[in-house]
Amino acid sequence: MDSQERSFERVNQKRRTRSELLRAARAIIEKGSHPSVAEVADHAGISRATAYRYFSTPDEMIREAVLDGVATSITVEPAGEDADAAQVAKRLDKLVTDVFKMILENEAVFRALLGSSAAGENQNRRGGRRLAWLKEALGPVESEMPPPQFQRLVNALSLVMGIESMIVMRDICDLDTEEGEKVLRWTAKTLLAGALQGAEDGAK
């Protein structure tokens, strides 16, 4: 094995080790626990010293476990060149629905992540993925409104996606899962329609 092959194997080994740690973290979190790095290392059968080289704090590890677990579950298909407002509305509706279902399937994990952020223990910025998904879904109508207005729409729609919106629907509004999803989809549709109408009125 030459030096290049050895280097490639080391990289693959690091990826496997990281994946095993994140898998172990998710398994513990899904049982409702807030694991330490040492607990995850023991669960994964990896030395604690090695685990600490990958994750220095539990909250960093929890965040990565959540994001790693859902990174490939949400996709926004590229829009066709002739995509209009009606098609964008459908793309947005599908995105809100997909994210809601993803949060529901991983609720314990996301609540743990939100808890660490609310306590000020996790200084990592959250929410970047949903903004990217929204910009992709809304892309065909971006040119129809001034940049500040488009960004305002993206920011507003971010409120209907994520564990925070589910907590509002279920814990505060006391809605069942089906009705909570309907409310969030309706909110997204209304925000998009209002933004497009505002852009049209402003262009007159």
- DSSP letter string over 136-154? HHHGGGGGGS-HHHHHHHH
Banded model confidence at residue 10, pLDDT cuts 50, 70, 90: confident
d(CA 33, CA 115): 12
Give the model confidence (pLDDT) of 130-169 as tens digits. Answer: 888 999 999 999 988 999 999 999 999 999 998 899 999 9
Q: Mean of the per-residue pLDDT values for the chain?
A: 85
Segments of the chain assigned to CATH 1.10.10.60: 3-68
Half-sphere exposure (CA, 13 Å, Cβ side) for 96?
A: 28
Q: What is the mean pLDDT of residues 39-46?
A: 94
Q: What is the mean pLDDT of residues 41-52?
A: 94
More confident site: 98 or 30: 98
Residue 53, pLDDT above cutoff 70: yes
Cα Rg of the chain (Å, integer): 20
Q: Distance between terminal CA atoms of the chain?
A: 69
Q: What is the mean pLDDT of residues 11-33?
A: 86
pTM: 0.69
Residue 195: per-residue pLDDT:
93
Give the model confidence (pLDDT) of 107-139 as tens digits. Answer: 887 787 777 666 555 444 455 678 889 999 999
d(CA 52, CA 36): 10
CB 54 within 8 A of CB 42: no
Residue 124: per-residue pLDDT:
46
Write the secondary structure of 27-45 as one string of H (helix), E (strand) and C (coil).
Answer: HHHCCCCCCCHHHHHHHHC
Residue 170: per-residue pLDDT:
92
Task: Tell me yes or no: is domain 3-68 CATH 1.10.10.60.
Answer: yes
